[in-house]
Structure 1
């Protein structure tokens, strides 16, 4: 241990905490001045800054109102006078959400609760875990015994049977993939759903699904409120693409990234085993490339990652084909990871397809993996001196159908318990999720108003580019457009890209 710290052993041991001026923390009792304390968000400019000499080291001690003390890190402006500020971006303090958790006041009698659970949209690792934890949480924490499972998605309210759910029924379902309740895509009749809820005497509705499902939950909540029913509607956001805004991440994402490693590893083994071999792996990511980005970073075997947020082109200087040739010449093999939504503009232009939608209203995407594989083959067929092998792997449905891993199992438990506590406390019309590391209750409209996307001017994408050593694939037109957009708003410093929604009680 450092002698400077050990020499103060006779003093009370301080609790070291972080102070981020961007976020608001609750003030606590100040510790010894050498420690980091929780600072009040109203820390004023009149605070005193003392440079304390301690064994030839100047410590920067900042003191504020109520005895708060911050041992700050040195700053260049401390000893360089008139240091110019290159960029300074003021941003709002952010939106605060109500902290999730148990409440002192409960608005439902346990023996009067009649809850139901429904799953909608595509499959995702962790669905069964959330179902299990809602049932067990209601039973063991609040003594609720009446829980129904709605089969077949939203339409199951008026078109399918229901399943009585007990802790015994759901005991081991978390070990299975998919959902025991079944699911569906597509529209529904809101009036019929609320009629069914009212006729059955249901007073708590737990809805598990993605952004489309949460939009439906919002409409159901509005109809329930219009009728003046004492029914709590709680959403648990689900998407394997991690494209739900506001929350830190969606459940199933960690499992998807982990499972994607198997496909990438297979592509790497294949590509290393043949001369001039290219392994192409298509991963999920309709509009957001989070799975592809994180799987690439975790793998370290990927030479090129293509996502919807980062445009690319094939032919000419700086294009994808040129980079493939360069990498094959350097190491004799390569691995390409592509998200399903990447390059759709090139594909549609090439195939002259019309815009079509699936049952959920999502734009139908062409198979970009097969398309880009064929394009690569056609390109190198024109170069007989450089014959290639290409192995194409699409693990999409394998990833969706597996059970959640340990990390997601814990996360699903927290989400389910947060939803239960909120509903029992009388909150309604909300979805749950962690915001800056703290679980919160978020109004439906906040998680449906936009989609979370990879910010290609942010640090994580820069780390990926450093890992793969791939070019940006931007042509002159893209660069000119990017410079024009930066004049109006710098993406790196945008409050939209770095949302400051903070969960507080």
Structure 2
């Protein structure tokens, strides 16, 4: 097998036979010579005594694509997560910290709880602290001591007990604080902006030659992080969105020419809107950022709304917050203002489209009853459901196993149903988006019976933009049956 070191130390590429490529994560031993190793404490852990194979083999990898041609290359793989036979930290030596950054997401407290309990119960680690208030908390706020007793029931609450913030990323100050406090394991929970920050922190720790693991757990309610099957909290968000859609449907159904409009989260990616629509069955039209639409004229939204009201007498529209922003007049635009995380501040497309529909029907002298529901922050402030709680446990424990094994500069994520360690630069390379030439979007169009709002020329252009060289190996079609892809 051949090895090629990535320029910025964020990925080790190993090539093998039959087109096998391993995109491996860094290790402390890459830049610190003669590190001592210790037997894994799980050898004597009663919880693991029933497990047939205690430890993950060092050569175990997980393929990024599961659909391949029989004669095609084996493709990209990632290192399989799990406990290793030898660890690079003595339990008494570990001083870990956990930080949460960016917006809220169901399951944050579950991840915090399982990191603390995983370190304590599996590896006997007793020194774990929480950083209060996001990245800037490293140098401007107090820390919170975390023990299994402190975090015992926090998974039953929404939000994060550590507090969060956007921005405030001063790399030198953060690493100075890590060094001064004697921290040697840093667990960072956040979205793509947070993981970019984590990558910079890892690079600085490496440059200083510090024996400090920097590990990430990807968090985004929009499910827009690439590579991974889905982000934690996404299932809960979709489930909670059903309540708003159901309320809109009841309101619409109870009035003559009733219209319910529901705005859901999704700044750049329409996954929540798409899956909530597919799950609900009560939605007549779903509008997302990836699929352009237009209001007036033949084949436009107004025409479709009129047609639906004539047929059914009522209608429900779900719109993602980032959809249709280009249609809002320039006078309403916020001059490309951004929040502290660098995200574009959006206008309220739900209010705008509701008013546009009202104005259109007023001109047509057709009476309608429109109700607008905006559950945006309600769906992310709740505790995670059962499926997400289990997923959070897997993510957190896998992250802990990787840190104890000396891996660093990685994100713990689910790929094709298996826990893996993914290099930071793969997580940060792009945003995951709904592919509107893929089968999942076609399923939605079939379910709602809405028009695609794309003309023949638009379809050709979209296909050109999104068509991979080999659909089965490189495109989204190889994994379109998985939630969140």
Asked if these proteins are the same fold (TM beyond 0.5), I'd say yes
Please state if 1:265 is matched with 2:240: no
Cα offset, 1:474, TM superposition: 1.1
Match of 1:159 among 135, 140, 145: 140
What residue is the counterpart of 1:406 in the other structure? 386
What residue is the counterpart of 2:373 in the other structure? 393
Match of 2:449 among 469, 494, 497: 469
Write out aligned runs for 1:161-310 (5 A). Answer: 161-310=142-291
Contact 2:20 2:76 in 1 (8 A): no
Cα offset, 1:477, TM superposition: 4.9
Change in 2 beyond 3 A, CA 1:159/1:352: closer
What residue is the counterpart of 1:116 in the other structure? 97
1:466-505 per-position Cα deviation (integer Å, ceiling 9, x unaligned): 110000011355245336558x7579557143478xxxxx
Tell me how far apart the structure 1 counterparts of residues 464 and 167 of structure 2 sit (CA, whole Å).
39
Write out aligned runs for 1:372-387 (5 A). Answer: 372-384=353-365, 386-387=366-367
Cα offset, 1:458, TM superposition: 1.1
Tell me how far apart the structure 1 counterparts of residues 80 and 149 of structure 2 sit (CA, whole Å).
31
Task: Could you tell me which runs of 5 or more consecutive residues in structure 2 were left unpaired when the two chains were aligned.
Answer: 1-17, 22-68, 480-485
Task: Could you tell me which runs of 5 or more consecutive residues in structure 1 were left unpaired when the two chains were aligned.
Answer: 1-20, 25-87, 501-505
Write out aligned runs for 1:55-134 (5 A). Answer: 92-134=73-115
- SS of the residue 1:455 aligns to: coil
- SS of the residue 1:228 aligns to: coil
Please state if 1:449 is matched with 2:458: no
Larger radius of gyration: 1
Contact 1:158 1:193 in 2 (8 A): yes
Contact 1:91 1:495 in 2 (8 A): no
| TM-score normalised by the chain length of structure 1 | 0.79
| TM-score normalised by the chain length of structure 2 | 0.82
- SS of the residue 1:335 aligns to: strand
Cα offset, 1:354, TM superposition: 1.9
What residue is the counterpart of 1:339 in the other structure? 320
- SS of the residue 2:189 aligns to: strand
What residue is the counterpart of 1:495 in the other structure? 474
Cα offset, 1:352, TM superposition: 5.1
Tell me how far apart the structure 2 counterparts of residues 288 and 364 of structure 1 sit (CA, whole Å).
15
Tell me how far apart the structure 2 counterparts of residues 314 and 460 of structure 1 sit (CA, whole Å).
24
Contact 2:437 2:462 in 1 (8 A): no
Q: CA RMSD in A?
A: 2.1
Tell me how far apart the structure 2 counterparts of residues 206 and 481 of structure 1 sit (CA, whole Å).
42
Cα offset, 1:350, TM superposition: 6.7
Cα offset, 1:236, TM superposition: 0.4
Change in 2 beyond 3 A, CA 1:288/1:91: farther
Contact 1:89 1:493 in 2 (8 A): no
Change in 2 beyond 3 A, CA 1:22/1:414: farther
What residue is the counterpart of 1:144 in the other structure? 125
Change in 2 beyond 3 A, CA 1:91/1:100: same
Tell me how far apart the structure 1 counterparts of residues 334 and 470 of structure 2 sit (CA, whole Å).
32
Contact 2:214 2:408 in 1 (8 A): yes
Change in 2 beyond 3 A, CA 1:377/1:22: farther
